[in-house]
Structure 1
Amino acid sequence: KCYSQTDSLKNHSAFFIQSNFMVGKIVANYSDFPKSTGRKTLYLDFGFYDNRKNNSTSRYYNFPASGISLSYSSLGNDSVFGREMDLVPFIDFNACHQLKNSFHFRFGIGASYFTKHYNRITNPTDEPIGSSVTWAFEAFIFQNVFSSKHLQVKAGAGFLHSSNGHTQLPNFGINSAMLSLSFQYFTKPITAQQTIVDRTIPTDRTLHFILQSRFGIGYHEFGGTTGPTGGPKKLVYTESISGGLILKQHVKLRLGFSYRFYEHYYEYILRNPLATMENHPEKILSAHPVWNSSALTFIGSGEFLYNHFGLDLEGGINISKPFYHNFNRLYENDAQPFYFLKSFFATRMGLNYYFISAQKNPKNNFFIGAHINANFGQADFSELSCGYVFRVK
C-alpha cells in the first residue's frame, strides 16, 4: 500500500551499495543477426537515497535514488560480441510515498565498452556493434519485495540498449529484454518512518517562463546503418532557440526552432555539382549548397529536472531537410511509411548538467549536455552541446 504520513525526523541522503543480477535475451533487429544463447549481466551500483524531507525536489520525486553503476555482461556469443562493460549514471523514481511495497522506475544513460566489435576481415558478422565504445541506455521497472533497516530487495524487468550513435558504421545496436533481482544495502539503518514522503508540506506550483539558446557540435560517419564502413567522420553544427515554462521547478517544457548544418552533405554536394534533388529533379543541389546541406526543424521538448541534472527528451518536425531524400536513395532505400517518418520527424535524447541547481530557480543558468540525435528512431549523430537559460518571470 502506498500512503503518506507526517514524520518529524530530520533526514539526510543515505548512501547505498546495490548488486543487480540480470538474465535475458538479446532481441534480433535484422534477419541475419548473430546467434546468442542469452544475456547475463551483473550490476554493482553506488548511490544515494535522497530522503531529505525539507527538500522540495526530494519530496516531488518521492525520495528518488541516484548514482553510478558498473556492469559486466556475457552476451551469449563470445566469438562475435565478446563481453560488454558499462559505466552508467542512473536515477530511480519511486511511484509511491514510501519504500515498502513500492514500485520504481529506473533510467540511465552512459557508456559501454565491447571487447569485440565489427571488423570487415576478422569479425564481419558483428554488424550490431561498429565500435568498441558506444552509448548505453537502460529503462527498468521494479517492485520492492522485502524491506528492512539495512536491506531492500527488488524484482523487475526492463530494457538495455547499446549503440554508437552513428559515429562508426555499421550500427544496428544491441537491444536486450531483461529480468532483474537486486539487493540494495544501506550502510546506515533507515527506519520505515524515514522513507515516508510528507505530502502535507505545500508544493511550489509557480510557473516560470524561460528563453533558451543552445549550440551543439555533432559527430557521425556518412552512410546508412550497414555502411559503407571505414568512411571519414564529419561534424554537424546545431543552433537552437526556444521558449517555454518550468512547472513546479522540476519539469521544463519548450517549443522553438533548431538549425543544423551537415558537413557530410555539403562535401557531397561540392563533389557532385550536377546532382539534383531526389524529390525535385529540376533543382540542382549545388545552386544553394549551404541551405541544401541544412535542416530547419520545429522542436518540442520535455525535460525532467533533478538538482543539477536534466533528463532531456526532444521531438521535432523537419520544415526543411532537402538532402535527406538523396541520402535515402544513396544508403537506405526506405519504402513508405518509414521513408516519411525518417524524413519528417527528428528526435533527440540525452542528459544536461546545469551549473546552478534548478531548485534554486536562478535568473540565469548555463548548461552542458550529451545527446544522441535520430531520424525518427534511427541514429543520425552523437552530440555535445552548451546552452544558456534565461528566466523571464
Structure 2
Amino acid sequence: MKGNYLLQLIALIVFVQIGFAQQQDSVVNDAIVLELEAVGGYVVPNYPNYPTHNPILGIWGSIGKVHYQSLFSVHYNYPQTGISVGYIHLGNTEIFGQQFFLMPYLSLNTSQKKLHSWWFRFGLGAAYFSTFYDSISNPDNVAIGSSFTWAFQAALHKKWYLSKTSNLKIGGHYLHASNGHTQLPNFGLNSAAVSVAMEFFLNKNNYSENPIKKEKKQHKKQWFVQATQGVGFHELGATAHPIGGAKKEVFSTAFSAGLIFSNHIKIRSGFTYRFYKQYYDDIRKNNLQPYIENPNASASNLYYFIGSEFLFGHISIDVEGGLNLHKPYFNYFYPYYENSSNFDFWLKKLFCTQLGLNGYVLNTQKFQRFNVFAGIHLYANFGQADFTGAIVGTVIKL
C-alpha cells in the first residue's frame, strides 16, 4: 500500500504548514533562521552478515524560527522549531541506495546562556530511499523494506556566536529510519554521525542581540478528559519474515484523563482497546486453538497507559508507555515468528510504547474548553515496531 506511505508524508507536511502558521501568534522579534549542515558518520550494523559499506556523507538545509515571543517561549527557554530537507549517501548505494528526508524539528537550549550554549535537537519526519529490499535484485538489504519510511533524529549541538547574523555549530547525531512494520523486512537503518553547520539569521535577530524580557512561568493546572479513535496498518510477521504478506488494519479506541500544566504539558492516564485484523484472520484461517473459540477476543488487545504530550501552539510531541492487560494471540505469535529469549518475550508481551506528532485545530495555549486534533504515530512492543497509524481525537478541559 504505497498510498499509506504517501499519506504519512502528506500528514507531516500539513503539520509543518500549521506550525509555520503560528507566526501569527508572534511579533517581529522572533528570529527567522536558515541553516546549512554537512554530516559525516557511519551506519551501525544491527543484524548478522551486515553488508560492507563506507562512511555516510550528508548535507541538508533547514528553515526555522527562534521563538522569543510565542506563548510557549518562556516555558521551553526560547526554543527553535522548523523543518529540514536533506540528502544522505549511505556508503553502499547498490544495497542501501540514497536517502532523502523531510523532517520537522525542535531544538532546545540546555542552559540559560545565550552565547556558546549546548542545544538538543529532536526531529521526526519521513524519508525516501532510492532502493530497498527485493528478493531478487537486492536480497541483502533487510534494513529497509520500503521506499518511504519514518525518519528520526536526536542531536546535540554546540553553538558559537559569530555575529548578529550568524552562528557556527558542531554536533553529534543519532539517525534512524524504518517503516514501522508496515512492510517487511524492517530491521531499520541506524547511523552515528558528526556535523558542522552555519546558522544565518534573516532579520539580524541573533540570540545575544534580542532583548529578551524574562517573564515568570505560569504554574496553573487544569483537569481534562480525552478520547481518540485510530487506525493503523502492518504486516504479520517478525522483523525479517515472512516477506510480501498482506497489509491489514489495526483499529484502536482510547479514553484517558489527566492534567494540563501551564498549557504546555499534558500528563494523561487511561485505557486503550485494539483489534488486530491480522490476528483475527490468522486465527480463522488456521483454526488456531484455543483462540478459535473466541477469535474476536483473541485478536484484541487491552492495555493501561501513561502518556506525556509537549504542547507547542498547534503542534505537539506525544509519548506514551503502556502495560498490556489482555493480548492472548501474542502467546502464539511471538514463539512462532521470533527467535529470541523468554525475557524478550515477556518484555514485549507486557510493555507497549508510542511516539508521534499531533496537530490541533485550536492553539493549545489559547483554547478555553474544547479542542480536536489529528496525529500520526509509531507503535511498538517494547521498542520493536508493531504498526504505524493515524488518530483523531477530542480533548475537553473540565
TM band (smaller chain): over 0.9
SS of the counterpart of 1:45? strand
Residue aligning to 1:258: 272
How far the C-alpha of 1:145 sits from its partner, in A, is: 2.1
**Does 2:286 align with 1:247?**
no
5 Å-filtered alignment, 1:18-33, equals 18-33=35-50
Q: Which structure is larger by alpha-carbon Rg, 1 or 2?
A: 1
Q: 2:309 aligns with which of 299, 303, 308?
A: 303
1:316–1:191 CA distance, 2 compared to 1 (3 A): closer
**Equivalent residues of 2:115, 2:208 under 8 A apart:** no
What root-mean-square deviation, in Å, do the aligned CA atoms of Structure 1 and Structure 2 show?
1.3
For 1:267 and 1:192, locate their aligned partners in 2 and report how far apart those are by CA, in whole Å. Answer: 57
SS of the counterpart of 1:337? helix
For 1:252 and 1:154, locate their aligned partners in 2 and report how far apart those are by CA, in whole Å. Answer: 32
Residue aligning to 1:213: 227
For residues 330-364 of structure 1, give each alpha carbon's deviation from its aligned partner in whole angstroms, at most 9, with x where no partner exists: 21132121111111100000100111111114300
Residue aligning to 2:62: 45
1:191–1:350 CA distance, 2 compared to 1 (3 A): closer
For 2:88 and 2:244, locate their aligned partners in 1 and report how far apart those are by CA, in whole Å. Answer: 27
Q: 2:344 aligns with which of 319, 324, 338?
A: 338
For residues 255-286 of structure 1, give each alpha carbon's deviation from its aligned partner in whole angstroms, at most 9, with x where no partner exists: 1000000000000111122x22xxxxxxx111
**Does 2:195 align with 1:189?**
no
**Does 2:322 align with 1:312?**
no
Residue aligning to 2:361: 355
**Equivalent residues of 1:356, 1:362 under 8 A apart:** no
**Range 171-180 or range 60-69, more displaced:** 60-69
Look up the equivalent residue of 1:291 and give its one-letter code.
A
**Equivalent residues of 1:298, 1:316 under 8 A apart:** yes
For 1:121 and 1:193, locate their aligned partners in 2 and report how far apart those are by CA, in whole Å. Answer: 57
How far the C-alpha of 1:71 sits from its partner, in A, is: 0.5
**Equivalent residues of 2:372, 2:395 under 8 A apart:** yes
For 1:259 and 1:42, locate their aligned partners in 2 and report how far apart those are by CA, in whole Å. Answer: 42
Residue aligning to 1:324: 330
Greater share of helix residues, 1 or 2? Answer: 2
1:155–1:114 CA distance, 2 compared to 1 (3 A): same
For residues 58-94 of structure 1, give each alpha carbon's deviation from its aligned partner in whole angstroms, at most 9, with x where no partner exists: 1211211111110000000011011000000111111
Residue aligning to 1:384: 390
**Equivalent residues of 1:151, 1:186 under 8 A apart:** yes
**Equivalent residues of 1:59, 1:198 under 8 A apart:** no
**Equivalent residues of 1:11, 1:194 under 8 A apart:** no
SS of the counterpart of 1:46? strand
Q: TM-score, normalised by structure 1?
A: 0.92
Residue aligning to 2:13: none
SS of the counterpart of 1:360? coil
**Equivalent residues of 2:234, 2:386 under 8 A apart:** yes
For 1:47 and 1:82, locate their aligned partners in 2 and report how far apart those are by CA, in whole Å. Answer: 29
SS of the counterpart of 1:158? strand
Residue aligning to 1:161: 176
For residues 171-210 of structure 1, give each alpha carbon's deviation from its aligned partner in whole angstroms, at most 9, with x where no partner exists: 00001111111111011212555446433x2221110111
**Does 2:117 align with 1:102?**
yes
For 1:194 and 1:252, locate their aligned partners in 2 and report how far apart those are by CA, in whole Å. Answer: 33
List alignment gaps of at least 5 residues for structure 2: 1-26
For 2:91 and 2:190, locate their aligned partners in 1 and report how far apart those are by CA, in whole Å. Answer: 13
1:169–1:192 CA distance, 2 compared to 1 (3 A): closer
For 2:36 and 2:155, locate their aligned partners in 1 and report how far apart those are by CA, in whole Å. Answer: 15
For 1:221 and 1:89, locate their aligned partners in 2 and report how far apart those are by CA, in whole Å. Answer: 27
List alignment gaps of at least 5 residues for structure 1: 1-9, 277-283
Q: Give aligned-pair identity as a percent.
A: 37
For 1:260 and 1:133, locate their aligned partners in 2 and report how far apart those are by CA, in whole Å. Answer: 25
For 2:370 and 2:160, locate their aligned partners in 1 and report how far apart those are by CA, in whole Å. Answer: 44
For residues 90-136 of structure 1, give each alpha carbon's deviation from its aligned partner in whole angstroms, at most 9, with x where no partner exists: 11111233531111111111100000100000000000000010000
For 1:124 and 1:192, locate their aligned partners in 2 and report how far apart those are by CA, in whole Å. Answer: 50
For 2:233 and 2:326, locate their aligned partners in 1 and report how far apart those are by CA, in whole Å. Answer: 21
Residue aligning to 1:72: 87
How many residues are matched? 372
1:192–1:368 CA distance, 2 compared to 1 (3 A): closer
How far the C-alpha of 1:12 sits from its partner, in A, is: 2.4
